Structure 1
C-alpha cells in the first residue's frame, strides 16, 4: 500500500488541469476551457511542475511545446480522467430513462453501418437522454482502441484480431467481390486466374489490422497486386467503378454500395473464411449495470439483423 500516502496528498483536480494544459498547450486557453481564471491555472501548473520536477510546457518563442515527459503524460491523462469520471458517475441503481450518459463505441464503417442505426433507435426509445457516440476506426486506431479499451464502452471487431478481452457475438456475414459493371473479368463467379491477374483495392493491410479473407487470398498464393488502400468499406465503390480493380466487401453491405451505381457483385471462387462480428469490452465493465444494459441493446439489435 505504499502508494496510498502519495495519493492522499494529491488533489485530483490537478488531473483535470493537467489534461487541459497538455491538450491546449496554452495556459490562457486551458483556463478558458475549464472556466477558471488564468492565475488559478498558473498556480495549478506550478504545483504540477513541482510534483513532476519538470516544466511540462516549455516556451518556444510565442508558443509552448510539450516536454518529453509531458508528451508521455498526454497519452495517459485522458484515459485516467475518463476512469475517474466512471468511478464517481457509477450508481448502485441506474434508470436508463433518466440518464444523460454518453456511450462511446468504436468500429469499422461497415460494422457501424450494419448495426448503428438500429442500436441508435433502441437507445432513443429506452433512454432519450442517453447519447451514443459511434467512432469509425482506422488501422492505427484499432491498436489504439485496444490499448484504451478501459476508457471506451466497446469495440466492434471480428474475431482474429484480438482474443484477450470479454466479447459477445453479434452477427455472421460472408464476403463477395466488388467490381466495375463493365469489368470483362467480372463473371458471376470470378476465376482464380482473374483474381490473380487483376489489380485490387484493399481496406486494411497491416500486421494487426486486416480482413481474414484478404489473408486467405495470400495464403492461396495469389499475392494480390494492391493499387490502393482505403480504410473504409463504404468508399470502395468509388475506387472500383470505371476501373479493372477488384475489392472484397461484406455481403450485408453490398446492397448499400450497389445503390451508388457503377459496380456489381461477384461470388468468390473458394470458400471464404466466415466473418463473425463481436462486441469487445474491458473486463472493468463486466458488472457495470449501465454497460450490461448497453450490451443487452446490442444483443437486441443483432437479433433484428437476422
Structure 2
C-alpha cells in the first residue's frame, strides 16, 4: 500500500472512536469515505482492526497495539509540519511536550505556564508525568518529547539548562503546627513515606544510609504531592523537596522539619535531545523555561 498520511488520520480516528460513523463525523468526511479507508487499512494490516461483537465494535489485539502508536505518529507528523525557518511566539500554535514530576508542576510548571500565556497565547504546553521508566530510558524518551525536568546528577551526555535549586526536607504531623525536631534516633525509629524507590531520589537514600539511617518504608508512592496526606495524623516521616513541603506545611497539623545532616542540594534542570539544539522554537522555549525558573528562584 502506498504511504498515505490521510490513512493515518483515518486509522487514528477509527481506533479512538471504534465506530465508522463517529470517526467520519470527527474527520468531517462522509461515512462511505471512511468505510473505504477502513477497507484499505484492513487489507494493509491483514487484520479486521474493528471486530463486531453484538451491536458494537471492539478493537482486535493488533488494533490495541496501534492505538498509542498511531496517536504518536500523528503527533509527530503534526510537529514536522509545524516547523518554520523562524519562530514567532506571538502567533505560533505549537505544542511543547514536557515531562515533569508532580513536585515540579505546581512550582516550575505554573511559572512556565503563566509566562507562555502572556508571551505566546497560542502556544500549548502538555505536561507528562515523569516515571522511573522515563528516567531510565531518558535518551530514547527525549526523542518523543521536547524536554524533561530532572535533577542534575542523574543524566549525562545530554544538553541541559539549570533551572532552580531545592533541597530535601521532612514533613511530619504535629499537634501544635511547630516544626518537629528530628534527630537520628527519630529517623531510625519512625516509619517513612518515601517518594519513589529509585531515581530521581536515589542520591538522598545514599546520604541517609551514610548518616546511619535505613528508612523503614511503610509506604512508597510515585507522587511527591501525595506524601503530606499520607503523613497527616500519623507518626510517619515524609521525604519531599522543600518547595513541596511549603505547599502544605503549617496546615492540617503538618510541619516541615530539616534533616539533621547535610542532605545536599537538588539542582533541577531542563534536559533535551541534541536534535532540538538549533530549532528556533525550541530555543525560544528553553529561554522561556530559564526565565520562568528565575521567577521562582528565591533563596532556600
Find the counterpart in structure 2 of residue 233 from structure 1: 224
Find the counterpart in structure 1 of residue 190 from structure 2: 198
Structure 1 residues 72, 148: closer, same or farther in 2, change over 3 A?
Answer: farther
Structure 1 residues 295, 243: closer, same or farther in 2, change over 3 A?
Answer: same
Find the counterpart in structure 2 of residue 277 from structure 1: 268
1:243 aligns with 2:234: yes
Structure 1 residues 163, 104: closer, same or farther in 2, change over 3 A?
Answer: same
Q: Which segment is superposed worse, 158-167 or 296-305?
A: 158-167
Unaligned runs of 5+ in 2: none
Cα-Cα RMSD? 2.7
Question: How far apart, CA to CA, are the structure 1 residues paired with 2:254 and 2:173?
Answer: 4
Return the offset for 1:83: 1.4
Q: Which segment is superposed worse, 290-299 or 105-114?
A: 105-114
Q: Which segment is superposed worse, 90-99 or 159-168?
A: 159-168
Return the offset for 1:86: 1.3
SS in 2 for 1:168: strand
Unaligned runs of 5+ in 1: 1-5
Structure 1 residues 139, 59: closer, same or farther in 2, change over 3 A?
Answer: farther
Find the counterpart in structure 2 of residue 126 from structure 1: 119
Return the offset for 1:144: 8.5
Aligned pair count reads 295
TM-score between the two structures when normalised by the length of structure 2: 0.86
Residue from 16, 19, 43 that aligns with 2:12: 19
Residue from 170, 174, 177 that aligns with 1:181: 174
Structure 1 residues 194, 125: closer, same or farther in 2, change over 3 A?
Answer: same
Find the counterpart in structure 2 of residue 3 from structure 1: none
Question: How far apart, CA to CA, are the structure 1 residues paired with 2:266 and 2:163?
Answer: 11
Return the offset for 1:46: 0.9
Return the offset for 1:170: 1.1
Find the counterpart in structure 1 of residue 28 from structure 2: 35
Matches within 5 A, 1:2-17: 9-17=2-10
Find the counterpart in structure 1 of residue 243 from structure 2: 252
Return the offset for 1:128: 2.4
Structure 1 residues 208, 41: closer, same or farther in 2, change over 3 A?
Answer: farther
Residue from 41, 44, 53 that aligns with 1:48: 41
Find the counterpart in structure 2 of residue 289 from structure 1: 280
User: Would the aligned equivalents of 2:171 and 2:249 in 1 still touch at CA under 8 Å?
Assistant: no
User: Would the aligned equivalents of 2:86 and 2:281 in 1 still touch at CA under 8 Å?
Assistant: no
SS in 1 for 2:224: coil
User: Would the aligned equivalents of 1:23 and 1:74 in 2 still touch at CA under 8 Å?
Assistant: yes
